[in-house]
Amino acid sequence: MHASSFVFPNDPHVPWSIMIVLYPYITGLVAGAFVVSALYHVFHQDVLKPVARLALVTALCFCVFATLPLLLHLHHPERAFNIMITPSATSAMSGFGIIYNVYMLLLVVEVWLVFRPDIVALAKTTNGWPGMVYRLLSLGDREITKESRAVDEWLIRALAIGGIPAACVLHGYVGFLFGAVKANPWWSTALMPVIFLASAVVSGIAALIALYLFFCWRRKITPDADCVRAMSRYLWVSLTIAVSLEMLELVHMAYEAGAEWHAISTLLTERLAISYGVVQVLIGSVCPFLLLLLAVRPRLNPRWLTGLSGIASVLVLVQVFAMRWNVVVGGQMLSKSFRGFVEYPLHIGGREGLIAAAVILALPFVALIFASRLLPLWESGDKHVLSSKPFQPANTGNSLTTGTLTSVTNQQRTMFNEEDTADTDAFNYGAVMRNEHV
């Protein structure tokens, strides 16, 4: 702290730790992943079919741990139940508790409806304790009819439609809380909820690209180039919107040049010079913007496409985390006198240290890996769909004829022709599902 700075005696430290940084970061991943799922189920973006199930399960896994940072930040976590026991219509935190529980219920029901045919098939063909789990998840159902599946599809679309505003409210509420703090000029802006929502979509799409490429590498299959290109295009557009809103907010503050602008400009150029200028703007915004421009080219080599998209998605995830850090921690560095800055000690251990934060951030990924073993995130034909386009013989003198190709194609179609109402075909289908996700 500079010798000429002044900090009030009741303002010596930063009360909100890195746990409050993780909280909007995780909820943003939840909202963004669900939006990608809704693009397939509601807006019929069939190019996103390879990641539709992954997006939905990812949203559920991250939503399960979304409130864990808040509970660790509280000295009495058991008091969180008071929000539900004694709710208040005028409390923003109470409203969040209601929204979170409704959204969690919506995700659980939609995931169950999407995977219900697979769960029923696996319940018939799986033995041991996994079979008991599948039979429990099937809720006693042993047959999927065309009529029941039609009802399921209608409910899935209805839940996806209702989940879009719920996801927007879930994360826009976080920006609303920060924007409502009138005493802090770094937070108090009408654009704060919109910025948080836009960055949530950015982080969700980037996380899905990285997870999809990771699972394809783990399964030793080729990613769907059209799907990766489409997600990269969505990521580029959403990143452009999010960064434009952030820059618009900053330019508006600079143009107004209020009494607090001197403190904010000093904060950005000195205290947050690395996390804001280098990490958030240069590494996390400019570099992914250029990489994604190259990745969305129509005739780009698939290997270059996956490489550029993967690097850009990781950088975008770093950018969103840096944005959360600069907003939450940076806003608390401003002294209430606007004539000094508060120091933020970053601890390694402890309940709110870096180790605890890393463990919390890793828990959703562990849950996702477990879910990938329990539920078939990839449909039975995805292995062939993801392996790129139909085979075309090269004119090199090979003895592969058109009749042979037709015979192979017919055999593949016959192999993956499944009837849900037949017990024998259900057995084969369950076997395929087990091989896919085990």
The predicted-structure confidence for 137-151, as pLDDT tens digits, reads as follows 998 888 888 999 999
How far does the chain reach from its first CA to its final CA, in angstroms?
Answer: 56
Please indicate, yes or no, if residue 361 is contained in any of the structural domains.
Answer: yes
Residue 12 pLDDT level (bands cut at 50, 70, 90): low
Whether the predicted model's global pTM rises above the 0.85 cut: no
HSE at residue 305, side-chain half, CA atoms within 13 A, is: 19
Is the pLDDT at 113 greater than 70? The verdict is: yes
HSE at residue 392, side-chain half, CA atoms within 13 A, is: 4
The answer to whether residues 242 and 319 belong to one domain is yes
The whole-angstrom separation of Cα 80 and Cα 95 is 13
Please indicate, yes or no, if residue 49 is contained in any of the structural domains.
Answer: yes
The answer to whether residues 146 and 43 belong to one domain is yes
Residue 51 pLDDT level (bands cut at 50, 70, 90): very high
Residue 394 is predicted with a pLDDT of 39
Please provide the average confidence, as pLDDT, over all residues in the chain. 83
pLDDT in tens, 241-267: 999 999 999 998 899 888 788 888 988
- CB-based burial of residue 147 (10 Å sphere; 0-12 exposed, 13-18 middle, 19+ buried)? exposed
Residue 93 is predicted with a pLDDT of 78
CB 391 within 8 A of CB 73: no
pLDDT in tens, 205-224: 999 999 999 999 999 999 99
Please indicate, yes or no, if residue 213 is contained in any of the structural domains.
Answer: no
Of the candidates 326, 344, 362, which is a domain's last residue? Answer: 344
Q: Average pLDDT of 159-187?
A: 87
- C-beta atoms surrounding 42 within 10 Å: 17
Is the pLDDT at 298 greater than 60? The verdict is: yes
The answer to whether residues 150 and 231 belong to one domain is no
Q: How many domains does the chain have?
A: 2
For the record, the structure tokens of 11 come out as 């303002």
Of the candidates 344, 369, 404, which is a domain's last residue? Answer: 344
The answer to whether residues 84 and 108 belong to one domain is yes
The answer to whether residues 358 and 272 belong to one domain is no
Q: Average pLDDT of 332-342?
A: 78
Please indicate, yes or no, if residue 209 is contained in any of the structural domains.
Answer: no
The whole-angstrom separation of Cα 380 and Cα 382 is 6
Q: Which of 53, 19, 13, 16 is nearest to 36 (CA)?
A: 53
Residue 8 is predicted with a pLDDT of 59
The whole-angstrom separation of Cα 200 and Cα 192 is 12
pLDDT in tens, 61-104: 999 999 999 888 887 888 888 877 887 878 777 888 888 889 99
- C-beta atoms surrounding 318 within 10 Å: 17
For the record, the structure tokens of 22 come out as 């993780």
Please indicate, yes or no, if residue 371 is contained in any of the structural domains.
Answer: yes
- CB-based burial of residue 385 (10 Å sphere; 0-12 exposed, 13-18 middle, 19+ buried)? middle
Please indicate, yes or no, if residue 311 is contained in any of the structural domains.
Answer: yes
The answer to whether residues 49 and 131 belong to one domain is yes
The whole-angstrom separation of Cα 230 and Cα 216 is 17
The whole-angstrom separation of Cα 292 and Cα 407 is 40
Rounded to 5 degrees, what are φ and ψ at 230? -65, -45
Residue 380 pLDDT level (bands cut at 50, 70, 90): low
Bridge partners of 339?
6
The answer to whether residues 155 and 20 belong to one domain is yes
Residue 347 is predicted with a pLDDT of 85
The answer to whether residues 308 and 326 belong to one domain is yes
Please indicate, yes or no, if residue 305 is contained in any of the structural domains.
Answer: yes
Is the pLDDT at 392 greater than 60? The verdict is: no
The answer to whether residues 71 and 162 belong to one domain is yes
Q: Average pLDDT of 361-371?
A: 95
The answer to whether residues 317 and 262 belong to one domain is yes
The answer to whether residues 86 and 140 belong to one domain is yes
The answer to whether residues 301 and 373 belong to one domain is no
What range defines the domain where residue 245 resides? Answer: 220-344
Residue 408 pLDDT level (bands cut at 50, 70, 90): very low
Please indicate, yes or no, if residue 124 is contained in any of the structural domains.
Answer: yes
Is the pLDDT at 403 greater than 60? The verdict is: no
